[in-house]
Amino acid sequence: MRHLATGLLATGLVMAAASPAMADGQATLEAQSDQGNVTMNVRWAGENLLRMDFPDQSQTGFMLLRDGKGYLVSQVQGQTMVMDMAKLKGMAENMGGGEIETLAGQQASQVDALEATGDSESIAGLEGDVYRLQWTDKNGTAHDDELVLSDDPQVLELMSAFHDYQRSMTGESDPIATTLEERGLGMLRFGDRFRLAELNDASPAPEIFELPEDAKTFEDMMRSAISE
């Protein structure tokens, strides 16, 4: 469970940026983390609904953002379980092992510089500008990454949805996201960590953002296990 928790947290934090306006859309993302390569199908609606599915890892379940809270919905021993992602983070921290501390330390503490290189790159049919990003993580380690950024409105919507999810897990904004928000830019690529593969403005079916009615919480399953 600890490795599942940290892996999902890493996936959820792999990219984030923000924009004040939101509509509907769907996207396919390709991401890399210490847990390996991940393909994500992302659907969002309005300002506070986001769902992430993992077609190559169906056993993982899906992530959901609604009402300002992030959830993981998965199957555990044949039972649908809903976990609050903020509580999942706390559980993983309590389990120890240093994985969460390592992950947290790799998150951005500050942006030192963001400069356009003058080059451009086409990703998912969208033309973006190449930037050099210099930033420092919470461990004090300096990083130098290449980003491809765009001011396309739908890219900004997607990044805004991810930033909302990131905040629901960590309780704080991301400095890189804030910098991009101030410049009105969203990400098409972040080094080799993240790349947008597909993007469209189709509206998802409203029911996909509902939490399962018959699901148990992690606390329910723990109480049930203790009572047996």
Instruction: Centre a 10 Å sphere on the Cβ of residue 51 and count the other Cβ atoms it contains.
Output: 23
What's the confidence (pLDDT) of residue 163?
78
Copy the structure tokens of residue 9. Answer: 């947290």
Could you report the average pLDDT of every consecutive run of 10 residues in the chain (228 residues)? 44 40 82 80 88 84 88 85 78 58 72 98 98 95 97 90 77 87 94 93 95 79 64
Helical H runs in the chain? 2-12, 85-95, 99-105, 153-170, 175-183, 218-227
Copy the structure tokens of residue 4. Answer: 């599942």
The CA distance from 67 to 4, in Å, is 24
Domain count, the chain: 1
Predicted structure pTM score = 0.78
Copy the structure tokens of residue 44. Answer: 């969002």
What's the confidence (pLDDT) of residue 93?
61
Q: Are 199 and 126 in contact (CB under 8 A)?
A: yes
Q: Are 42 and 63 in contact (CB under 8 A)?
A: no
Q: What are phi and psi of 14, to 5 degrees?
A: -65, -25
What's the confidence (pLDDT) of residue 202?
94
The CA distance from 188 to 17, in Å, is 11
The whole-angstrom distance between residue 60's C-alpha and the CA centroid of its chain comes to: 15
**176 secondary structure, DSSP code:** H
- Residue-number span of the structural domain to which 59 is assigned: 2-227
Say which CATH number the domain at 181 has. 2.50.20.10
What's the confidence (pLDDT) of residue 18?
34
The torsion defined by the Cα of 83, 94, 142 and 20, in degrees rounded to 10, comes to: 30
**Hunting for tokens 């039972």 — which residue is that?**
79
